Structure 1
Amino acid sequence: MAAACAAPGSTFSKQLLFLLLVLVLLCNACQKVSLQVPSHLKAEKPIGKVNLEECLKSPSLILSSDPAFRILEDGTIYATHDLLLSSEKRGFSILLSDSQGQEQKKLEIVLSAREKKAFRKRHTKEPVHKRSKRRWAPIPCSLMENSLGPFPQHVQRIQSDFSQNYSIFYSISGPGVDKEPFNLFYIEKDTGDIYCTRSIDREEYDQFMVYGYATTADGYAPEYPLPLLFKVEDDNDNAPYFETKLTVFSVPENCRYGTSVGQVTAIDKDEPGTLHTRLKYKILQQIPDHPKHFTVHPDTGVITTTTPLLDREKCDTYKLVMEVRDMGGQPFGLFTTGTITISLEDENDNSPCFTQSSYFAEVDENRIDVEILRMMVQDQDLPNTPHSKAVYKILQGNENGNFKITTDPNTNEGVLCVVKPLNYEVSRQVTLQISVLNEAQFTNAANTQPPTMCTATVTVKIKDRDEGPECLPPVKVIQSKDGLPAGQQLLGYKAMDPETSSGEGLRYKMVGDEDNWFEINESTGDLRTVKVLDRESKFVKNNQYNISVVAMDSVGRSCTGTLVVLLEDFNDHPPQIDKDITICQQEKDYAVLEPVDLDGPDNGPPFQFLLDNSSSKLWTLESQDGKRAILRQRHNLNYNYYSVPIQIQDRHGFSAKHVLSVRVCDCTIPSECRMAIEERDVKPNVILGKWAILAMVLGSALLLCILFTCFCVTTTKRTVKKCFPDDVAQQNLIVSNTEGPGEEVTEANIRLPTQTVNICDTSTSVGTLGGQGIKTQQNFEMVKGGYTLESNKGGGHHTLESSKGGVLGAADTGRYAYTDWQTFTQPRLGEKVYLCGQAEEHKHCDDYVRSYNYEGKGSMAGSVGCCSDRQEEEGLEFLDHLEPKFRTLAKTCVKK
């Protein structure tokens, strides 16, 4: 039917017409129906009705070939828009199809416009006939609910004016006829009388919209379908009932007059807005019934209080038996009763009260954290709520804080405890006044009395106990001077026996003296120094030295006190400084001096720094903020150890002289400096004792004897071809892992190379030892820590002489100490190791030490030094084939 409403010419309309044409060819046509209709058809107005069941029983699909018309399921035909029919007839088809689509029928409909009747002109003398009212019109009709009959009961008659000229048959359709509820109404076909077959429940069906039809014997419908509205009149057949079966309200106790408690609601299924649903509420009974506390508004059902005397402690729950009645509360109205429960909410309108007005308790003196009393209270408010939970407070008698009272959460009792010891000698009895209130604030209801605070008196008796001596105060402070010598007397700690109020008969013992500074007099407790008192001692904290003293009576009872010796600072410590300083030339040319003064701030900085005149040529000393100083080089010095005498004074001029050991090194941070410790032996201004001088004289005499022996056993001079590499050590065996200062070798026959180029001479000896040549088979390289002393720094060779400068100033150019050799080799070895680690192309790979690697020429001795992979006792067979002058040295190298 929705498709019939589509506009002509639309795509859907074309598809529908095509479908109709196909179905027309497949279906059988039914009998053609002709209808006379007005020439002007209005939209959505019925124009006639056809019996579709005569063509096809129970059609499921009803379609119109003309979209200007729409057909309902009952066969009623409607125009979808206003139409004006011409004198010619207009026809269309109705296509019917069953649910399975196996049978289709087509019903031809022909519409013809009615001919207008010709009216004759009325003559003035002819009598005028009045037009009677048409009978085919909606007639108001009502049915009584729950009618008693008899049934079938006549409802109404419909008549058509065309029944005077034609045989008219009447029919109806709609709810109650061919829709739910079925067969409630029927119509006599010939007379048009409509009947009702049974009683009706208005609460189920309040009205029925039924359509009446008038048709001729050939199916022509001269009348439009007639809408008939059958309204069912309400009968008061439903009693009202409360919406909730169990209703519970709550209201605070002591509430004001007119306080709203709640609203009850009832439901009546009869017709709204009528007397049948006009409800009235009423309280039938109150339980308990006296006094009357509640009322209900008869129309709204709102329950309110009538008195301010609701007391939960007297009655906590009320029940109201209520009635709701329709018909405006008239006696003949229907009614229902129900029960409403009202519970009262607790308010703190009752103050707690002690069960006793006075209490008594006993406690031993000096007892703490002990329970001495429990106090019970009564409260009529709801238990286990803030309205009844008690809060206790000590009002008087606890000025010293000896007592504390708390609430037991389980019993609501007040628990009185002693938290600070009581002294029988001071007071033998204490009287306390204790009050109690609730956690919640007291209510301010109009009908309640102002709250009253309940109080009780507690008398606490203190029992005497002989507790021994008392150390009061527990900490005593005495003052003393810093540097107080031994043997001096100081006032000690004093205790007292509370029984006698004196210290007689007490004995004292010192149990805490960390550095054993004092001894104590057992009878008086006075102290005597056994050491010099030093404020700068590690046992002194914040100028205080603590001593623990125990005082005992004759039976062994004791107490312990602390004696604090407060030391006054004395300027007895000059500023101190670290005497070992390292200056890294690559980072900076100065060092920061930060002295420390063990004395207090009054005897400390600002410091004054003074430099010795002998060091002012090489160094400068600048003071910084009175706490630090900067020691700076006047010009770049050689890498070596230097002694710098300085003097540091505190603010009062107390000073001390210091000789700084300054190490000038080729490094970036002090920890990278590899300068040997043995170099410290070469220090100017070193004063030797007489025993050191004697040892040096004896050592020199012994050295001369050894040298004389060597001259006697020298071999014949032999000339061989000898090639010396740069910086050779000339067969000197040097221990590279020594951890102590080495001996200075100044023998003239042991020399360092004086040229930087390799020398290959077959006619002369390289060095002499007792005037004889030294036979050698291969080049000898000095080994230091597993690396050779060859160095290529800056593209050229440097000898030891060139690196020394003029610092040492040796008397003979051929005499060099071991420290000179180490000073020469150390920076070059460090540079060589750094280059070996940095070269990506391994340009210096020939300088790596390889275990048992062939080094260009065989050697009887193999690797010598710490780099050898052989064990300590292995590989020494070559010592049996050495020259005679080396055998003595070889014997000293063999572990015994």
Structure 2
Amino acid sequence: MRTIITMMIILSMTCVVEVSGQSKIRRKRTWIIDSFSIEEENPGPYPYVLGTINVEREYLVFFFITGRGIDKDPENVLSINSRTGEVLVHKKVDYEAYKNLSFTFEARNNLFAVDTKLGVEIKILDINDNAPVFNSSLYETTLDESAPQGILVTTVAASDLDDPNTPNGTFKFTIASVTPKTDNVEFYIQQNNNTGSIYFKGCLDYEKAPKYTLLIKATDNGNKVQQSSTSTVVLNIIDKNNNLPRITNHTGPARIKERETGVEVLRLQVSDKDSIGSPAWKAKFILHGDPENYFKIQTDPKTNEGILTVVKIVDYEDKMSRNLSINVENEVPNFSCRVKTRTSRGLWDVETDPKEFNVPYNVTINIEDVNDPPEFVTPIKEIWIAENTKIGTLLETFSVIDPDKKFESKFQFNKTEDKNNWVTVNQETGQVFVNKVMDRERLNDGAYRVIVHAVSKDRTQTGTGTLLIHLKDVNDNVPLLVNNTVEMCESHKNTNIAANDADQMPNSGPFQWVLEDDQTEGKWKIVPISGITARLDKQDTVHEGIYEIRIKISDNQGHGSVQTLSVKVRDCTKEHMGYFTVQLSFSAIWIVIFALLLLPGALLMTLQFCKKQKNAMILHDDFPGHLIKSNIEMPGTDCEIPLHISQLLMSQSKVKMSNGSSKQLSMLHNGLHGSSATSVENQMFGNFHLRPSIGHPYQKVTNDDMTVSMSKNCTNHIKDFPINTILSNQLNQRLLLLQTSEQEHSDYKPHSYAYEEEPDKIPVEHLDTLSIPETNFNLDILTNLNVRFTSLAAVCRPDLMSPT
């Protein structure tokens, strides 16, 4: 321990002396540093001495290094002996990651003060440890079969991570292999730095090779070791038309019947070595020897056959056969390429001008004769005649011929179109006559069409002829007023009127307007405005009212007629007030009607709220013509309700029916003299009965076969009709029916309501007392009515107007 302390003291004293000496004396120092380099991927063994930093010194110095390769990435590659200055390498360094190692060298004295600081760079030596790498392992492209030699196929590119300034980082391209190998093409590559362009020479042939696969190799120029890699180029050939199509045969009868259309005549078979379904394989046919276009040829898209079809009627008499010539080609143009000479340098000698041509395919189409229809010498005829031509006038004559000599026959003429039935046609001669007066104004364009058929006797063949009749206009129409009535305000001075003439120029406008009535002088004046219109001027002496004005209107030829124009002159200043008054009157009428409609509803609502039972009995305003059920007795049917109904009186009258029978009717009176309320039947005759109806001013007598109506006013004057009393009686009857029908009453005593015995056996004590006056209805009372009601009664019941 003492020894260590003693050495530290001596060292400290030595440092102080050295520093002191340095402050007084400047000494020369010499550093000797060799140029260092490290080869990448050195196999070792590690560590090994890279070199030594020597220094001439007169004092003790310690060495230190810091930076890349020591304490910075890549760490722990280098170290230095602090006393001897030896630099050691501890592990491999990759050139592609670090091209050099830069660090700082320091020399420190015995006091650890920096004596000198120096930057040091160690170069990393590249070795050929990387092969060239292609940008893609597979290149795929397409090229037309017709592409000329020398055209660019595709371009490849590669790169090498080694030092590009050394042979290790440079490389060259080569074509290692071509699959398949053909004698018609050769590929080559041209290099430009790190890219290679691929070309070909010769002629591409899809039929020999639809696809080429090239193996491209990139090899570096390393001295000791050469690295290389490969990439694949796939070249797809698009088939083009380098093979001509050829017609090999045909199928089908090659025979048609005359006048036959839309029939397949034959099919042409084609051979083509190009790719099936491609435009270079699809056939396109060209037809020769058919200037009239009787035939058409199309391609079957599935079989590539040519289909020959007849599309136009062929006449056997014109030609018994047709000779056709057919050529075939493809949808795309044909090309040719043939290798003549192969050379080692430059492009090959090839021939591209096609020398092959298609030979036309000839075919004969035979025509079969059939019975032809008649042919009109002139199928369409046009004539010009004046309208209103006399009936029976000969218009035109149709003539036909039979083109057949073998099937000659006779024909008759039939009219098939004549909308207005204006003409007749002679079936034997074909003459067309006027049948009715022809009016040009009935036509839109002035032309009338008549179609005539010439039919063979056996009705199998028909020919068609057309007659176009153009009608010339004659002046058979006079101008007529468009409107026969006009209105104008009294404050206005004039109004316009117009006329129309169905004739054409010059038989129509301009019109002449003349006032025919002398009474219009000083009141009205007419002034022509244009060809068809005129202005009617009103003088100041014309006031509100309706005026009839006679006007003569003549056309351009002086043909005209006198017409009456009704002019209504009104005071327009009163129209607004009149309209308001009418509107007010209608509104008042509707209010009254609405109030009358609400009255029955209000009464029914009052009855609804006054009743005690929810289910009310329905009062039938009808009496059946037979006995009703009598076993309807139930609790409450004998309700006793005080009624304020006046005693009704009944009078009887005898009515004579239209069928000859008479009927005794009873009229109910409310106790007021001369007022009739309603009536009921006193006796039943068959199914006859009277139906009294509230609100209807008549009584209706009905049976199964007859219904008659009789006005209630026939019994008395309408002004004496007691509507208030009858309405009160009817309301009391309705209230009686709305009482609780199922409530028991203490005064209920069983009794009979109906008897099935004979009428004479019915006990009198069980019948209610009914007072029936013996007064007979006197028909003479009807004669006291006014004339209007007497006429109405005579129309309704003429039998009541005569004595019974």
Q: Give the TM-score taking structure 2 as reference length.
A: 0.64
Determine if the alignment matches structure 1 residue 363 to structure 2 residue 256: yes
2:456 counterpart (540, 550, 553): 553
1:430: which partner in 2? 322
Report what 1:17 is aligned to.
Answer: none
Matches within 5 A, 1:118-197: 118=24, 131=28, 133-135=30-32, 139-159=34-54, 164-166=58-60, 168-197=61-90
Partner of 1:391: 284
Separation in structure 1 between the aligned mates of residue 590 and residue 182 of structure 2, nearest angstrom: 118
**Of the candidates 178, 193, 208, which is equivalent to residue 314 of structure 1?**
208
Find the aligned partners of 1:304 and 1:665 in 2 and give their Cα distance. 104
Cα 1:506/1:313, change in 2 over 3 Å? same
Deviation at 1:147, TM superposition (A): 2.0
Give, as a single letter, the amino acid of the residue that structure 1 aligns with 2:40. E
What does residue 887 of structure 1 align with? 786
Query: SS at the partner of 1:203?
Result: coil
Report SS of the residue matched to 1:134.
strand
Of the structure 1 ranges 349-358 and 277-286, higher mean CA displacement relative to structure 2 is found in 349-358
- The reply on whether 1:325 has 2:219 as its aligned counterpart is yes
Whole-angstrom CA distance in 2 between matches of 1:352 and 1:382? 12
In structure 2, relative to structure 1, the CA distance for the partners of 1:283 and 1:517 (3 Å cut) is closer
| Residue 413, structure 1, aligned to residue 318, structure 2 | no
1:259 counterpart (132, 136, 151): 151
Q: Give the 5 Å matches for 1:699-710.
A: none
Contact 1:261 1:302 in 2 (8 A): no
**1:596 counterpart residue number:** 500
Deviation at 1:234, TM superposition (A): 0.9
Matched residues in 2 for 1:185 and 1:849: separation? 122
Task: Identify if the C-alpha distance between structure 1 residues 849 and 261 changes in structure 2 by more than 3 Å, giving closer, same or farther.
Answer: closer
Cα RMSD (Å) of the superposition? 4.1
Contact 1:145 1:199 in 2 (8 A): yes
Paired residues of 1:374 and 1:414 also in contact (CA < 8 A): yes
Write the distance in 1 (CA, Å) between the matches of 2:88 and 2:490: 128
Structure 2 unmatched runs, 5+: 1-18, 338-349, 596-694, 699-710, 722-782, 797-804
2-structure distance, mates of 1:114, 1:385: 102
- Where do 1:767-846 residues align within 5 Å? 831-834=577-580
**2:538 aligned with 1:633:** yes
Q: Is the 8 A contact 2:409 2:457 kept in 1?
A: no
Q: Distance in 1 between matches of 2:494 and 2:696?
A: 46
Query: Which whole-Å CA distance do the structure 2 matches of 1:260 and 1:237 have between them?
Result: 33
- Shift of the 853–183 alpha-carbon distance from structure 1 to 2, 3 Å rule, reads closer
Match of 2:266 in 1: 373
Aligned partner (choices 353, 359, 366) of residue 449 of structure 1: 353
Task: Measure, in 2, the Cα distance between the counterparts of 1:584 and 1:886.
Answer: 50
**1:618-650 superposed Cα distances (whole Å, 9 cap, x missing partner):** 221211222222222233533333222222222
Q: What is the letter of the counterpart of residue 257 of structure 2?
A: D
Residue 223 of structure 1: SS of its match in structure 2? strand
Distance 1:851-1:309 versus aligned 2 partners, 3 A rule: closer
2:235 counterpart residue number = 342
Residue type of the alignment partner of 1:887: N
What SS does the corresponding residue of 2:485 show, helix, strand or coil?
strand
Instruction: Give the counterpart letter for 2:44 in structure 1.
Output: G
Give the match's secondary structure for 1:164. Answer: coil
Structure 1 CA distance, aligned partners of 2:578 and 2:717? 31
State the SS of the aligned residue for 2:578.
helix
Q: Give 1:580-619 correspondences, 5 Å limit.
A: 580-585=484-489, 588-614=492-518, 615-619=520-524
Query: How big is the shift at 1:361?
Result: 2.0
Query: What CA deviation, in whole Å up to 9, does each residue of 1:80-118 have, x standing for no partner?
Result: xxxxxxxxxxxxxxxxxxxxxxxxxxxxxxxxx999744
Amino acid at match of 1:316: P
User: After superposition, what is the alpha-carbon deviation per residue over 1:217-250, rounded to whole angstroms, capped at 9, x for unaligned?
Assistant: 65433333x4332221011223334332223344
Aligned equivalents of 2:412 and 2:25: distance in 1?
156
Mapped partners of 1:283, 1:553: distance in 2: 86
Q: Distance in 1 between matches of 2:493 and 2:474?
A: 38
Which whole-Å CA distance do the structure 1 matches of 2:138 and 2:64 have between them? Answer: 53
Give a deviation string over 1:680-735, Cα, whole Å, max 9, x none: xxxxxxxxxxxxxxxxxxxxxxxxxxxxxxxxxxxxxxxxxxxxxxxxxxxxxxxx
SS at 1:604 equivalent = coil
1:268 corresponds in structure 2 to 160
Query: Could you say which residue in structure 1 is the equivalent of 2:139?
Result: 247
Letter in 1 for 2:484: D
Partner AA of 2:221 in structure 1? M
Amino acid at match of 1:272: P
Secondary structure of the corresponding residue to residue 536 of structure 1: helix
1:236 maps to which residue?
128
Whole-angstrom distance in 2 between the partners of 1:194 and 1:263: 49
Cα-to-partner distance string for 1:658-682 (whole Å, 9 max, x where unaligned)? 2223333445xxxxxxxxxxxxxxx
Match in the other structure for 1:295: 188
Are the structure 2 counterparts of residues 201 and 404 from structure 1 closer, same or farther at C-alpha, using a change threshold of 3 Å? same
What does residue 851 of structure 1 align with? Answer: 592
- Give the structure with the higher percent strand: 2
Q: 1:520 to 1:880 in 2, by over 3 A?
A: farther
Conserved 8 A contact 2:294-2:314: yes
Name the counterpart of 2:446.
543
Q: Residue 816 of structure 1 corresponds to which residue in structure 2?
A: none
Separation in 1 of the partners of 2:108 and 2:158? 51
Cα 1:387/1:502, change in 2 over 3 Å: closer
Relative to structure 1, is the Cα distance of residues 170 and 480 closer, same or farther in structure 2, using a 3 angstrom cutoff?
A: same
For 2:116, the aligned partner's letter is: E
Structure 1: give runs of 5+ residues left out of the alignment.
1-112, 121-128, 668-792, 794-826, 855-869
Distance, in Å, in 2 between the alignment partners of 1:852 and 1:271 is: 117
| Cα distance in 2 for residues equivalent to 1:891 and 1:159 | 165
Q: Partners of 1:331 and 1:156 in 2: how far apart? A: 26
Note if contact 2:513-2:554 (Cα within 8 Å) is conserved in structure 1: yes
Give distance in 2, aligned partners of 1:464 and 1:622: 76
Q: Which amino acid aligns with 2:156?
A: V
Offset at 1:506?
1.2
Q: CA deviation at 1:849?
A: 7.7
Among 491, 494, 505, the alignment partner of 2:410 is 505
Quick one: which of 558, 567, 575 aligns to 2:479? 575
2: CA distance between counterparts of 1:872 and 1:634? 57
Percent of residue pairs bearing the same amino acid type: 26
Amino acid in the other structure paired with 1:323: K
Tell me the distance in 2 between the aligned counterparts of 1:223 and 1:450: 88
Give the Cα separation in 1 of the matches to 2:439 and 2:540: 44
Q: Contact (CA 8 Å) 1:358, 1:456: kept in 2 or not?
A: no
In structure 1, the residue matched to 2:389 is 484
Deviation, 1:421, is 2.0
Which residue is 2:246 aligned to? Answer: 353
Q: Deviations over 1:286-344 (max 9, x none)?
A: 4415356222235655345463433334333333344332227x796333445433344
TM-superposed deviation, 1:572: 1.7
Q: Work out whether residues 522 and 539 of structure 2, in 8 Å CA contact, stay in contact via their aligned partners in 1.
A: yes
Q: Secondary structure at the match of 1:831?
A: helix
Asked if the contact 1:493/1:563 (under 8 Å) is kept, the reply is: no
